[in-house]
Structure 1
Amino acid sequence: MKFYDVLASLIHDMKNSLSMVIHTLDEITADAAVDFDKPARMTVLQNEAKRLNNNLIELLTLYNIENERISPSIEEVDVAIFIAEIMAENRSSAEANHIELVSDCDPELFGYFDENLIRNVLNNLVGNGIRYTRDRLLISAAQEAGYLVFRVEDNWSGYPEQMLSKQSAEDDHGALAEGRTKLGLYFATMIAEMHRNGEQQGFIRLENSHQLSVGCFSIWLP
């Protein structure tokens, strides 16, 4: 996939977010003299602003990857503290959307990965999860089969069969512009594959059954 394909998709998505922000601001301005639901409208602005910020982070990261200007900085990370930071960064948005944000991680778990790159992936996954889940979102981490596995699970409708069969946006380049989730798949795949240990390489996996028994996005790091 070429960088300009990703750029076109991101521009389209950012345009939609900006349109939502402008529309909401227009409503607030028009209703300034009357009573209106400030919390709900502020939540819309907060959510769309965070999506724009995540888009720009993805754009810059993917550009640097394609131009070989970035390589993973692998360090030992306290995973429980890392998960707690992800929770803190997204808690206000979850509460504003009436989403219960919960975590599951062994307090003694440590891993070796690029903290900033994986933080970007998880924040994108959590942001999308808050947008689409019904009322609960679970962030977890565990050691499995020689991999450190991060999972973000929702309790909405799960992934369609077509996405489960692809398992990667790289398998379906032509459909990238169809939705934000496909772009998220591509971004997460690129970051996962940058993590290597001997012959092992990181990867992502989509499932429709794990702890919450609906949609589960996992990133496996060697």
Structure 2
Amino acid sequence: MKFYDVLASLIHDMKNSLSMVIHTLDEITADPLSGYDQPARITALQNEAKRLNNNLIELLTLYNIENERISPAIEDVDVANFLAEVMAENRSSAETNHINLTVECDPDLFGYFDENLIRNVLNNLVGNGIRYTRDRLLVTAAQEEGYLVFRVEDNGSGYPERMLTAHSPEGGYGDLAEGRTKLGLYFATMIAEMHRNGEQRGFIRLENGHGLSGGCFSIWLP
């Protein structure tokens, strides 16, 4: 996947979000009280605004990666505090969508990674999880097999089989018309692979029914 492919697909996705925002704002402007009578409209606007912001962050990050203008700033990170900050950023959106967002992490867990890059990945995963889960999202972090593993799990319908077998640049991303989900996989893969320790490098993994009944997206950092 080349950067111009990513750009074209992200522009398409952002255009759809903007169209939805403009249409909803036009309706609220025509009847200002409708925004108060139907809070779901305001929630939808907030969700689309966050999606647009995440799209732009992804776009800029992928551009910098493509042009070798970015390298990970690996630091010693208090993982529990880091996840608490990520949860705080997403708590309001989860609550307005009636999603139970929880986190599990050993308070003494530390890791070595780029906070900003991994934060962007997790924010995207939680944002997508809010859209596709039924009513629960679980974010966890733990040491496993010599890696620091972040997981975002939901109790939705899970990932389709084709995504479980094609979730890396080497595995292919299929038709870009399928949209943002595959671009999110590409973005997460690029960020994971930028984290290296000797011969080890980061990777992502998709599965269904890990802890909750739906999809589980994990990012493994050496």
TM-score normalised to the size of structure 1? Answer: 0.96
- Give me the whole-angstrom Cα distance separating, in 2, the residues matched to 1:81 and 1:204: 22
1:83 is aligned to: 83
Map 1:17-36; keep pairs closer than 5 Å.
17-32=17-32
- Give me the whole-angstrom Cα distance separating, in 2, the residues matched to 1:203 and 1:152: 15
Q: CA deviation at 1:26?
A: 1.3
Q: CA deviation at 1:176?
A: 2.8
- Runs of 4+ residues deviating >4 angstroms: 33-36
Map 1:2-13; keep pairs closer than 5 Å.
2-13=2-13
Q: Deviations over 1:110-169 (max 9, x none)?
A: 000000000000000000001111101011000000000000001000000111111325
Say if 1:34 and 1:146 are closer, same or farther in 2 by CA, change over 3 A.
Answer: closer
> Is the Cα contact below 8 Å between 1:169 and 1:182 reproduced in 2?
no
Cα RMSD (Å) of the superposition?
A: 1.3
1:71 aligns with 2:71: yes
- Give me the whole-angstrom Cα distance separating, in 1, the residues matched to 2:69 and 2:37: 46
Q: CA deviation at 1:175?
A: 1.8
Say if 1:181 and 1:170 are closer, same or farther in 2 by CA, change over 3 A.
Answer: farther
Secondary structure of the structure 2 residue equivalent to 1:149? strand
Q: Deviations over 1:164-194 (max 9, x none)?
A: 1113255224423312110100000000000
- Give me the whole-angstrom Cα distance separating, in 2, the residues matched to 1:35 and 1:47: 15
Q: CA deviation at 1:35?
A: 8.0
Amino acid corresponding to residue 120 of structure 1 in structure 2: N
Secondary structure of the structure 1 residue equivalent to 2:92? helix
Map 1:38-53; keep pairs closer than 5 Å.
38-53=38-53
- Give me the whole-angstrom Cα distance separating, in 1, the residues matched to 2:167 and 2:15: 27
- Give me the whole-angstrom Cα distance separating, in 2, the residues matched to 1:103 and 1:53: 23
Say if 1:191 and 1:29 are closer, same or farther in 2 by CA, change over 3 A.
Answer: same
Structure 1: gaps spanning 5 or more residues: none
- Give me the whole-angstrom Cα distance separating, in 2, the residues matched to 1:77 and 1:177: 37
Secondary structure of the structure 2 residue equivalent to 1:207? strand
Map 1:102-141; keep pairs closer than 5 Å.
102-141=102-141
- Give me the whole-angstrom Cα distance separating, in 2, the residues matched to 1:45 and 1:92: 13
Q: CA deviation at 1:36?
A: 5.5
- Give me the whole-angstrom Cα distance separating, in 2, the residues matched to 1:45 and 1:13: 15
- Give me the whole-angstrom Cα distance separating, in 1, the residues matched to 2:23 and 2:161: 34
- Give me the whole-angstrom Cα distance separating, in 2, the residues matched to 1:153 and 1:103: 10
Secondary structure of the structure 2 residue equivalent to 1:171? coil
Percent of residue pairs identical: 84
TM-score normalised to the size of structure 2? Answer: 0.96
Say if 1:34 and 1:44 are closer, same or farther in 2 by CA, change over 3 A.
Answer: closer
Say if 1:215 and 1:35 are closer, same or farther in 2 by CA, change over 3 A.
Answer: closer
